[in-house]
Amino acid sequence: MNLFDVYPLYDVTPVKANGITITDNNGMEYLDFYGGHGVISIGHSHPYYLRKIKEQLDSIGFYSNAVQNPLQIELAMKLGALSGFDDYSLFLCNSGAEANENALKLASFNTNKKRVIAFNNSFHGRTSLAVSVTDNLKINAPINSTGPKTFLPLNNIGLVEKELKKDDVCAVIIEGIQGVGGLDEGNTSFFKDLETVCDRYNVIFIVDEVQSGYGRSGKFFAYQYHGVKPDIISIAKGMGNGFPIGGILISQKFDPKHGMLGTTFGGNHLACAAAIAVLDVIDDEKLLENVNEMSAYFIKKAKMISQVKNIKGRGLMLGLEFDFEVAALRKKLIYEKHIFTGGANNKKLLRILPPLNIQKEHIDQFFNALNDILN
Ligand SMILES: Cc1ncc(COP(=O)(O)O)c(C=O)c1O
């Protein structure tokens, strides 16, 4: 059987990974400045994380959501405490798209309405509802175009309010910081106004923190820079450090009903063990402090490179914008300098999403390599 060929692949075969380093099948070491699409939060193969997963596997790896699972409660309590949202409830699933799918469903259940407001250049995932509010026609199949939605520019509250007044909108969904789109974000007054108009017109305010959450922005959630409280927050990527897990944080506005949401795999024992280990490490190793320190160091060095025209993003969710398309640069970084980086819809943007425990020496290595290539 062949693999269904949907991914353009780099010719690198990782067989081992540790911290910031990935080793390929020829023994070549690579610096990971991309974390496999922003997934690696606490570093590859963190020893505490490995131990916790192995111990869990030796006890019980899986049972469905038909029985008591105290690990889910432990995860919810630790997540509530670390994120500052201990008055929210947690629903667990398996990926970012699934988190948004459930967030949008909950919004529609709650309001009994259908239309969604999303933003230009958004990315919310590939499942049916999530992709329908993703601003990319190429990844929307005809079957996805049935649900009513409206894409608007960021930072224009007048346009949002005009749509909400029509009284058919169930949710506004916005990324804390746009990832795939290229590191654009709503400004503080826009986030605050979104919260106000959603409240005024009884529309559910969803913030997608799948990529920008879990400390990546330098705060636990990126929207926390703006002092708002969304009704639902979706999470995934950094949550499991590579173990597939996602979820939504749900405000007290919603009444749960048995059977309203559900999943076979979501919140299983092994996934919870991985996610608890991630939170323990973020807390014990004070990774948010490291994110802010390393971010400042990275930005200082980036400003010294004349070819970098703009630095976007926050924390360790950063983009370097050049006045040329970066595909060739990324190839050189990977094949000549052995450094993984990311691209974006904005073809001139080099996307930087390293593990949150990166150190200055790795950033020095990155900039030495970038300077070598550029000069
Ligand atoms: C902001 C955002 N939301 C949702 C998703 C979808 O997550 P997943 O690929 O886990 O379904 C992504 C993935 O890149 C994302 O960046």
* pLDDT tens sequence for the chain (375 residues): 999 999 999 999 999 999 999 999 999 999 999 999 999 999 999 999 999 999 999 999 999 999 999 999 999 999 999 999 999 999 999 999 999 999 999 999 999 999 999 999 999 999 999 999 999 999 999 998 777 999 999 999 999 999 999 999 999 999 999 999 999 999 999 999 999 999 999 999 999 999 999 999 999 999 999 999 999 999 999 999 999 999 999 999 999 999 999 999 999 999 999 999 999 999 999 999 999 999 999 999 999 999 999 999 999 999 999 999 999 999 999 999 999 999 999 999 999 999 999 999 999 999 999 999 999
Contact 133 CB / ligand 1 (< 6 Å): no
Residue 248 CA, ligand 1 centroid: distance in Å:
13
How many Å apart are CA 354 and CA 317, to the nearest integer?
A: 8
Angle at which helices 269-284 and 287-303 pack, to 10 degrees? Answer: 70
- Closest-CA residue, ligand 1 atom 16, reads 211
Contact 95 CB / ligand 1 (< 6 Å): yes
Contact 176 CB / ligand 1 (< 6 Å): no
pTM score: 0.98
Residue 207 CA, ligand 1 centroid: distance in Å:
12
Residue 371 CA, ligand 1 centroid: distance in Å:
31
- Closest-CA residue, ligand 1 atom 8, reads 96
Contact 210 CB / ligand 1 (< 6 Å): yes
Residue 147 has a pLDDT of: 77
Residue 374 CA, ligand 1 centroid: distance in Å:
31
Residue 221 has a pLDDT of: 98
Tell me how far apart the terminal alpha carbons of the chain are, to the nearest angstrom. Answer: 46
How many Å apart are CA 266 and CA 72, to the nearest integer?
A: 10
Cβ count near 79 (within 10 Å)? 23
Contact 179 CB / ligand 1 (< 6 Å): yes
Closest C-alpha among 243, 351, 346 to residue 298: 351
Is the distance from CB of 247 to CB of 91 less than 8 angstroms?
Answer: yes
124's CB contacts (< 8 A; 6+ apart) are: 96, 97, 100, 118, 130, 131, 133, 134, 173, 175, 208, 210
Closest C-alpha among 112, 107, 110, 111 to residue 129: 107
Is 120 in a helix, a strand, or coil?
coil
Residue 136 has a pLDDT of: 95
163's CB contacts (< 8 A; 6+ apart) are: 115, 117, 150, 152, 169
